[in-house]
Amino acid sequence: MTTWIDGTAGTCVDPGDRGLQFGDGLFETLRIDAGRPCFWPRHRQRLAAGCERLGIVGLDWPRLEEELHALAARQPRAALKLIVTRGSSERGYRAAAAVPPRRILRLAALPEPPAAPLRVRLCAWRLAIHPALAGIKHLNRLDQVMARREWDDPGVAEGLLLDRRGRLVEGTMSNLFLVRDGRLLTPDLSDCGVAGILRSVIIDRAAEAGVELARRALTLDDLAAADEVLLCNSLLGLCPVGRVEGIGEFRSGPVGRRLQQQLARQATDDSSNWYPA
Amino acid sequence: MTTWIDGTAGTCVDPGDRGLQFGDGLFETLRIDAGRPCFWPRHRQRLAAGCERLGIVGLDWPRLEEELHALAARQPRAALKLIVTRGSSERGYRAAAAVPPRRILRLAALPEPPAAPLRVRLCAWRLAIHPALAGIKHLNRLDQVMARREWDDPGVAEGLLLDRRGRLVEGTMSNLFLVRDGRLLTPDLSDCGVAGILRSVIIDRAAEAGVELARRALTLDDLAAADEVLLCNSLLGLCPVGRVEGIGEFRSGPVGRRLQQQLARQATDDSSNWYPA
């Protein structure tokens, strides 16, 4: 694990950092392949949207990108976590003006991909409805921590989360797609959830892959009726789900395979949205 | 500002700390008076309840209390913020077993009390309904940060928060009491909000002060109809509100004064629940 804090290698974060004090910041988890960050333009766009939403101003983007590419180049394949906080403050919720945001970059080994098709479970923990914080990848992640605490079985790769109204939202660390009658469905995330990067790629390219797509409210009935269930995140890619505990078994199918093939082609098609073949 | 991290003076928090990574922890803000922490037994109880709720185990309570009292003794009057996180982990939401929680104690100057009676405002930011995290003082505080960003006027001492259903919950850093026809009313916090220490003292002692109390859902209509409006927290004590922007003017009244006098008497009445005279 290599850590850079505001451009300097180190293992020392100011205890007054607002990320620690309040979860007052954002993060991105990037896949590094061939020493390059995959889909950085999309991560950058989401991070910028998060800064805009939280009112975090003054992030030194040129230095951040320089650091990101320099750190990525150190390891051919890796997971890079990038945290941006509102910087440090003395006491209280109010942030001092003119304090620069803090950049924390950590390079770690890429996790082993779980055995596909995935075995997943339903979490009992429910996500709150909170449109003002939905979509962005902020540092208030107790929901995900608490949901992930529900199981220890290493054979269970992920837990699916419902919101308080009983709608399917996402996995603790992944986004969800269902296939029904050849059509791709993914939860609308305007009430809660994280708008994942690979999710955005799949949404944008579904038409090219000849797949009709709808973003809408989804329930456990939709899950049970699905022909294919798919989970995706930046580190693991797009994975078929073979079984959801308490719901049923699913098969890898043609829509998931077509989307996987399309993601693999990105490596050559689009260097700005680099993705490993 | 003096900071102790796991018992050692320092300014260096591990970047892998889960408080920074996910807001995975709890905090307490204590008033230090005469070198002693006020209401420590109640803070300890809430912190323990938070650990229980989040499943944070293995906190070294004897060392924590030793550190707390030693740090408090360094300054006659101060604000002491105590953070307990789930400790450090490598990557991902899952916490490693057997990693000890981290203790971070910071001693700062006591903030100047705002001019009483307080001028306060209503925040546009709404709190999510989230019973699973309600009451405890966890580190996911973006709601409070975002609400506090709504004003800069130093003459406005606090902002009041409503939940998404339009119910009055609390201030960004304080709890709310209304007085109506001699009766004390405070929002029920089972859906959201922080169950403050001074709030708990007032609730427990209201009967002794000859004041009838009800915890229930409160709305802006209740606020507008109040005879007295009061805010409290551990650092500022119990303060009357003179004006809520957009709602109206209020007078300091007999119920608030009686409760203030009762709080002042605690100094001599109850050494375990020390409060400055």
Domain segments of chain B: what residues? 2-108, 118-267
User: Which chain B residue lies closest to A163 (C-alpha atoms)?
Assistant: B130
The ipTM, to two decimals, is: 0.95
The pLDDT value given to residue A273: 53
Q: What is the mean pLDDT of residues B111-117?
A: 91
CA distance A211 to chain B (A): 32
Contact list in A for residue B158 (CB cut-off 8 A) is none
Q: Are B133 and A142 an interchain contact pair (Cβ–Cβ within 8 Å)? A: yes
C-alpha distances in Å from residue A35, one per residue of A87, B124, B139? 28, 45, 35
Question: Counting beta carbons within 10 angstroms of the beta carbon of residue A8, is it exposed (0 to 12), middle (13 to 18) or buried (19 or more)?
Answer: exposed
CA distance B142 to chain A (A): 6
The pLDDT value given to residue A276: 47
Nearest 5°: the CA angle A209, A212, A215 is 120
Q: Which residue has the tokens 């790769």?
A: A157
**Do residues A84 and A51 touch, judged by C-beta distance below 8 A?**
yes
Let me know if B81 is a catalytic residue.
no
Out of B83, B91, B142, the one facing A133 most closely (by C-beta) is B142
Task: Specify which residues A83 forms β-bridges with.
Answer: A27, A104
The pLDDT value given to residue A267: 52
**Do residues A239 and A116 touch, judged by C-beta distance below 8 A?**
yes
A21, A89, A138: best to mutate for the B interface, most B CBs within 10 A: A21
Q: What is the mean pLDDT of chain B?
A: 94
**Whole-number CA gyration radius for chain B:** 19
> Which residues are CB-neighbours of A72 under 8 A, at least 6 positions away?
A30, A32, A35, A36, A37, A78, A80, A107
Task: Specify which residues B29 forms β-bridges with.
Answer: B81
- Tokens standing for residue A42: 């999309």
CATH architecture type of domain B118-267: Alpha-Beta Barrel (3.20)
Q: What is the mean pLDDT of residues B108-113?
A: 93
Out of B15, B138, B148, the one facing A104 most closely (by C-beta) is B15
C-alpha distances in Å from residue B152, one per residue of A96, B155, B245, B253? 11, 9, 14, 29
Catalytic residue, from B28, B29, B186, B228: name it: B29
Q: In B84-150, which ranges are continuous DSSP H helix? A: 142-148
Catalytic residue, from B85, B170, B186, B228: name it: B170
User: What does the pLDDT look like over B155-206, one tens digit per residue?
Assistant: 999 999 999 999 999 999 999 999 999 999 999 999 999 999 999 999 999 9
The type of residue at A83 is I
**Do residues A137 and A27 touch, judged by C-beta distance below 8 A?**
yes
Does residue B11 register a pLDDT over 60?
yes
**Do residues A12 and A36 touch, judged by C-beta distance below 8 A?**
no
> pLDDT confidence of B267, banded at 50, 70, 90?
low
The pLDDT value given to residue B134: 98
Of the candidates B37, B79, B171, the one whose C-alpha atom is nearest the C-alpha of residue A91 is B79
Does residue B76 register a pLDDT over 80?
yes
Contact list in A for residue B106 (CB cut-off 8 A) is 15-16
Contact list in A for residue B104 (CB cut-off 8 A) is 15, 20
Q: Are B129 and A164 an interchain contact pair (Cβ–Cβ within 8 Å)? A: yes
Q: Are B173 and A24 an interchain contact pair (Cβ–Cβ within 8 Å)? A: no
Does residue B273 register a pLDDT over 80?
no
Q: Average pLDDT by consecutive 10-residue portion of chain A (277 residues)?
A: 95 96 98 95 97 98 97 96 96 90 97 93 98 98 98 97 98 98 97 97 93 97 98 96 97 96 70 47
Taking the CA atoms of A20, A23, A26 and A29 in sequence, report the sign of the dihedral they define. Answer: positive
* Residue B98, helix vs strand vs coil: coil
A3, A11, A13: best to mutate for the B interface, most B CBs within 10 A: A13
Q: Are A22 and B146 an interchain contact pair (Cβ–Cβ within 8 Å)? A: no
Please give the span between the terminal C-alpha atoms of chain B, in angstroms, as a whole number: 25
Active site residues of A: 29, 137, 170
Query: Which H or E run includes B241?
Result: strand B237-244
What CATH number is given for A118-269 in this structure?
A: 3.20.10.10
The pLDDT value given to residue A277: 39
* Residue B118, helix vs strand vs coil: strand
3-state helix, strand, coil in chain A (%, to 5): 25, 30, 40
A91, A112, A233, A235: best to mutate for the B interface, most B CBs within 10 A: A91
Q: Are A16 and B140 an interchain contact pair (Cβ–Cβ within 8 Å)? A: no
Taking the CA atoms of A147, A148, A152 and A155 in sequence, report the sign of the dihedral they define. Answer: positive
CATH class assigned to B2-108 = alpha beta
pTM for the whole structure: 0.96
DSSP A181: T
Q: Are A144 and B81 an interchain contact pair (Cβ–Cβ within 8 Å)? A: no
* Residue A3, helix vs strand vs coil: strand
User: What does the pLDDT look like over B37-75, one tens digit per residue?
Assistant: 999 999 999 999 999 999 999 999 999 999 999 999 999
- The span from the CA of B225 to the CA of B178, in Å, is 9
Cα–chain-centroid distance for residue A80?
Answer: 12
Contact list in A for residue B108 (CB cut-off 8 A) is 90-91
Indicate the Cα dihedral angle A36, A40, A43, A47, nearest 10°: 100
